[in-house]
Amino acid sequence: MKGKASIAIILFLIVIMTSFFIIRSNASKRIKNNEIQGEELVIYSAHPIELLRPLIQEFESRTGIWVRVKSGGTGELINQIESEQDEPVADILWGGSLSTLKPQMYLFEEYISKNQEFIFDEFKNDEGMLTRFSDVPSVLMINTDLIGDIIINGYQDLLNLNLKGSIAYCSPSISSSAYEHLINMLYAMGKGNPQEG
C-alpha cells in the first residue's frame, strides 16, 4: 500500500510541477506579447489591405510596434478624422490624393520624413503635412469582352449613349481616386479649363 501511495504522491507532484511550468511559460509569453503589442500605431487607410499587409508586417517585425488598420474610402476617413479632432484616434492617414487632402491639412500635424532628401523634387513634402507614398495615375479600365466596336480613348468617349448604364464610377465624396477622375474630366472636357469642363 505504501508503494502505491508513494507513486500517487510522486505522480501528483509531477502533475503540479508540470502545471506550474506550463502556467509560468504561458505567463511569460503573455508578458512578452504585451510588451510587443504595448505600443500601437493606428492607421486609417483607403489602400487595399493586400498592399498594406506586407509593409505593416515588415514594420511590426522591425519596430515591435503593433499596427491596427481602419479601412475606408478617403472621404469617409477624412470625415472620421474631423469628427475625432478633440480625441484623435488615428496616428496616420495612409492614402488619398493631394487634391482631396490639401483642403484638409488643418487636420494633420506637421511631419517631414528623414528620407525627404531622397524624394524627387516634384514629390517633396512642401506643405509640411503630406508625405508622398506613391505616384498613381488615373486610368480607365475597359472590359474588351463587352465593349464591342466602341472605341474609348478618353473621357469624351464615355459620353457615347451606347455606354449608358455600363459605366461604374465611385462617388467622389467617398473615394479620392474618383475625385481625381472628376478633376481630370473637368480639365479634359474643358481643354485645360476646369470651369469650361
**144-164 tens-digit pLDDT:** 888 889 998 888 898 899 999
Q: Decide if 75 is inside a domain.
A: yes
119 and 50 housed in the same domain: yes
Residues 87 and 111 in one domain: yes
Asked, for residue 117, whether it belongs to a domain, the answer is yes
Phi-psi category of residue 95: left, alpha or beta, with phi > 0 → left and psi -120 to 50 → alpha:
left
Q: Looking at the structure, tell me whether residues 24 and 44 fall in a common domain.
A: no
In 67-106, which positions are buried (b, 16+ CB within 10 angstroms) versus exposed (e)? bebeebbbbbbbeebeeeeeeeebeebbbbbeebbeebee
Q: Which helix (H) or strand (E) holds 43?
A: strand 40-45
- pLDDT at residue number 38: 65
Q: Give 168's pLDDT tier (boundaries 50, 70, 90).
A: confident
**Residue 67: which pLDDT band, with cuts at 50, 70 and 90?**
very high
**Which residue range(s) make up the domain with 19?**
1-38
Please compute Rg for the chain using Cα positions. 28
Helix (H, G, I), strand (E, B) or coil at 73: coil
Higher per-residue pLDDT: 70 or 170: 70
| 115 and 186 co-located in one domain | no
* pLDDT at 188 exceeding the cut of 80: yes
In a domain, 130, yes or no: no
Q: How many domains is the chain partitioned into structurally?
A: 3
Enter the C-alpha cell of residue 156.
Answer: 469624351
Same domain membership, residue 104 and residue 83: yes
User: Does residue 131 form part of some domain?
Assistant: no
- Same domain assignment for residues 44 and 21: no
CA dihedral 122, 128, 129, 133 (to 10 degrees): 30
Q: Does residue 103 belong to any structural domain of this protein?
A: yes
Of 22-26, 37-41, 138-142, 160-164, least confident by mean pLDDT is 22-26
User: What's the pLDDT score for residue 97?
Assistant: 78
Whether residue 132 lies inside any domain: the answer is no
Average pLDDT of the residues in 133-140: 77
Is 129 part of any domain?
Answer: no
- pTM (predicted TM-score): 0.59
